[in-house]
Amino acid sequence: MPAVQRSELPEHQFVEVALPLPMRQTFTYELPPGYRKMISCGARVLVPFGSRTLTGYAVALSPDLPAEASIERENIKRVTEVIDETPLLTAEILELTKWAADYYSASWGEMLKASLPSGINSATERIISITEKGRSILLRTTNLKPLPARLLHRLAESGNMRQDELEKEHDAAAVKRVIRTLAREGSIVVAHRSVAGKVKPKFRKAVRLLANSSGIDGERPLTIPQQAVLNTLTENSGEMLFTELAESSSSGASVINTLVRRGVVEITKKEIVRDPFSSESLLAIVELELNSDQQKVLSGVVSALDAGEYKAFLLHGVTGSGKTEIYIRAMRAALDNGKTALMLVPEIALTPIFSQRLRAVFGSEVAILHSNLSAGERFDEWRRIRDGRARIAIGTRSAVFAPLSNLGLVIVDEEHDASYRQQESPFYNGRDVAVMSANQTGAVVVLGSATPALETYFNAQNGKYTYLSLAARVGGRPMAEAQLIDMREVFRTAGKDVSISPILADAIRETHTRGEQSIILLNRRGFSSFVLCRSCGESLRCRNCDITLTYHKFDRRLTCHYCGYSVEVPKLCPFCESEYLYFIGEGTEQLEQKLRSGFEDIRIARVDRDSMSRRGEMSRTLNAFDRGEIDMLIGTQMLAKGHDFHNVTLVGIISVDTGLGLPDFRSAERTFQLITQAAGRAGRGELQGRVMIQTYYPDHYALKFAGLQDYDGFYAEEIKFRNRMAYPPFVVLASIMIKHADESYARRNADTLKSALTASNIDNSCRILGVAPASLAKLKGEYRFQILIKSTNRHRMRDLINIGTARAEASGCDPRTVFVEIDPLNLM
Ligand code: ADP
Ligand code: ZN
Ligand code: ZN
């Protein structure tokens, strides 16, 4: 970019600031004169807000008070400080986060904060340096007061210092006062380091060869050790870390110091890029030859890349069909076109094996953004992307906001995965933001999955996305066989509750005897319970919404948390009159113990978020399993995703019904995905794999089609249900959660909001359901109520929510209790 002269820059008196608070509006501040020319959009600013000082983001600048400013001229407050001289946020990120905030009726400031690597938003650092004027005052003035004199001395010695260091050396309050005075008279300047917070670039001591040093200091020739050190340095392009160079010879450190004295080399500082890959050994690249299906898919994507316009693909490829290979080659093609590429992966899929593979293929061109990185690593990777040193970014959900410029390709692997949905404010879906980002920048987007989300497949059917398919596994490997185990039968035979059926137990033993491995999925620990009949397998459902009714202990009733319908728990099954009604959703914890005691000779490890909270532990366990040091992995559904273990031939799903019975209209889809993905983990090598599913309800269509690995069959059935009951993709859904520790207060706010929404729904373009207790009616000490809105018109619905919430607020509804979620994924 051409350098712009400061004097040419326009002067801005006002700035619009987006604050990371759950509020949708931005705030107008006045800029102090010193900042008017230096600030640009995307810079962070410190502003007073109530009694606090907050870090916000400059999103618009103007020379005059904007006409639409919601505030009187005389009430406008001033920006305290501009933190970044070079704006941290790119224009693209500002645009994308603005779109996402509007789309999700969320706060722009929160969206902006979510787009930055964590740690960067913490407190800022003030750097004090002495000016020429300060130096001359120090020299000439004899009657300086003690503290100003001491501070100026200190600064003259070291050039500049952090204010907090100075504060530690003296009385902090006095230092603050003196610094203000000195700054005002121009003896010092105060700067704010743009790298705020705890994360900063990391530097280490380095040695650099000085130019023209060859014949230096003719008096004495270099000794042999000195020459050796010098040679090593030359071989490493003239600059090395001090420790590394010192290790290259026995008396290294002292030899280097001598060379410094003799003026041959100098000591410098070198930035150490904290590299998330560095501890892992690199894999050798195996160049595979694409099969003809893969070639066809790849050329579809590549010709879109060459066209250089927005285009969206759904890549529907069965598990093991070689999608990864296509992603890698498509990214290479994007780079060859001079563009950058972004790849999103689900939380769990960023396995060390996969990252190593990418590093082997793309070297330092690839940066990785992942929640398991340290704050420092993440910050360095983010800056490598921001500066264009890395042109490929791979990461989980929030990597969709990676500051890539000139974006050519966006890949979303396992696009159906729930981890793309942020489950707290600001709510957004990384997959949908990815599509929008591609649309905004004219990039190609590829959504890949073996089990596309119903909405995505629907878009491929109606032509919004171009459909690409890989229908067979690579190398003609067969799909794993899936077998349903009828637990009603097992219950009848045993006459009591059995958690692991004899047939599954036998399969586990056989697998182990053959020296092969197994994966056992326990379902998500029950947090909401529902009623299921052990004789016929039916669960009790709402007659309006056709979702499972949730059992609430406090009133011993079954309630629909979409519409509020509620009934008493029946004594007998309404379908078959059996008395074996069964409360599901509790007690999966003991299963691990049962497995361990039942199979004592099998080496078992458990993988889930709770047991794997320590950094690196998950990858250690997965690596050990890959090397065959563990025989069986037990875990939740996260284990079903993305892994490529060649010796796994058995996957068991202990209680699939917990998932099927979740009070969510997506429960069938989720269950279908879980089984298909789990089947994809079995038999990926040369060996045939099998999947065993324990269920009380083997007749359910999700289980039937999953057993047959028939996506189209499932889709045809499921889309009918969505249409009949008016669920997405036929309507847009919004959920509004009202939460508070005081139950009646929460309820009152919910009722106020409901009436305001109803009153604002003049053209009846939306259906408003509830107020109903949420499926998790009480969580973390808060009572939770839910209002559900359905509409065929997304814009109308957003308007209704914006108008309705404002109106409710005017009638006394407390906005801090209200959480709006557009396109919610989990209705809990
Ligand atoms: P998916 O992501 O579709 O489940 P993967 O990309 O993991 O499938 O591929 C499955 C396996 O097949 C991997 O071990 C991969 O290395 C291998 N593979 C992919 N493409 C080819 C090919 N053209 N020839 C041989 N092996 C391949
Ligand atoms: Zn029954
Ligand atoms: Zn209902």
Q: How far is the CA of 478 from the centre of ligand 1 (A)?
A: 13
Spatial contact of 55 and 44, defined as CB atoms under 8 Å apart: yes
pLDDT band at residue 3 using 50, 70 and 90 as cut-offs: very low
In this prediction, residue 537 carries a pLDDT of 77
Q: How far is the CA of 567 from the centre of ligand 3 (A)?
A: 11
Spatial contact of 209 and 233, defined as CB atoms under 8 Å apart: yes
> DSSP of 16-81, one letter per residue?
EEE-SSS-S--EEEEPPGGGTTT--TT-EEEEEETTEEEEEEEEEEESS--TT-SS-GGGPPBP-E
Name the residue of 470, 474, 709 whose CB sits within 8 Å of the most ligand 1 atoms, as the mutation to test its pocket: 474
Pairwise CA distance, residues 508 & 523, whole Å: 18
In this prediction, residue 593 carries a pLDDT of 76
The average pLDDT across 800-804 equals 94
Mean pLDDT for all residues in the chain: 84
Residue 477, SS3 per DSSP: coil
Q: How far is the CA of 351 from the centre of ligand 2 (A)?
A: 43
Q: What is the pTM of this model?
A: 0.78
Nearest CA to ligand 1 atom 1: 320
Q: How far is the CA of 285 from the centre of ligand 1 (A)?
A: 13
Q: How far is the CA of 576 from the centre of ligand 2 (A)?
A: 4
Nearest CA to ligand 1 atom 9: 322
Q: How far is the CA of 657 from the centre of ligand 3 (A)?
A: 20
Residues around the ion ligand 2 (C-beta < 5 A): 533, 535-536, 573, 575-576, 578
319 CA closest ligand 1 atom index: 4
pLDDT at 197 over 50: no
290 CA closest ligand 1 atom index: 23
pLDDT band at residue 526 using 50, 70 and 90 as cut-offs: very low
For residue 771, cis peptide bond before it (omega within 30 degrees of 0)? yes
SS (H, E, C) 288-323: CCCCHHHHHHHHHHHHHHHHCCCEEEEEEECCCCCH
Candidate from 1-10, 604-613, 662-671, 815-824 with smallest mean pLDDT: 1-10
Nearest C-alpha neighbor of 341 from the set 333, 331, 330:
331
Spatial contact of 558 and 542, defined as CB atoms under 8 Å apart: no
Pocket of ligand 1 (CB under 6 A): 288-291, 294, 317, 319-325, 474-475, 644
Residue predicted with more confidence, 686 or 309: 309
Q: Which ligand is nearest to the Cα of residue 539, counting in written order?
A: 2
Nearest CA to ligand 1 atom 17: 322
pLDDT at 684 over 70: no
Nearest C-alpha neighbor of 441 from the set 478, 401, 480:
401
Q: How far is the CA of 546 from the centre of ligand 2 (A)?
A: 17
Candidate from 378-382, 521-525, 744-748 with smallest mean pLDDT: 521-525
The average pLDDT across 724-749 equals 94
Pairwise CA distance, residues 129 & 192, whole Å: 11
Pairwise CA distance, residues 527 & 711, whole Å: 29
Helix, strand, coil share (%) of the chain residues, nearest 5: 40, 25, 40
The average pLDDT across 484-507 equals 88
The average pLDDT across 440-451 equals 96
pLDDT tens digit string along 78-88? 998 888 888 88
Spatial contact of 17 and 29, defined as CB atoms under 8 Å apart: yes
Spatial contact of 648 and 680, defined as CB atoms under 8 Å apart: no
Using the 8-state DSSP alphabet, how is residue 763 labeled? T
Residue partners of 176: CB distance under 8 A and separation at least 6: 163, 167
Strand partners, 340: 407
Identify which of 285-299, 392-406, 525-539, 681-695 has the greatest average pLDDT.
Answer: 392-406
Q: Which two tokens stand for residue 575?
A: 């379908």
Task: Return the residue matching tokens 């990858």.
Answer: 619
In this prediction, residue 554 carries a pLDDT of 67
Between the CA atoms of 623, 683, 347 and 789, what dihedral angle is there, to the nearest 10 degrees? -160
**Cβ neighbour number for residue 500 with a 10 Å cutoff:** 19
Q: Which ligand is nearest to the Cα of residue 576, counting in written order?
A: 2
pLDDT at 814 over 70: yes
Q: Which ligand is nearest to the Cα of residue 567, counting in written order?
A: 3
Q: Which ligand is nearest to the Cα of residue 577, counting in written order?
A: 2
Pairwise CA distance, residues 292 & 619, whole Å: 34
Residue predicted with more confidence, 798 or 529: 798
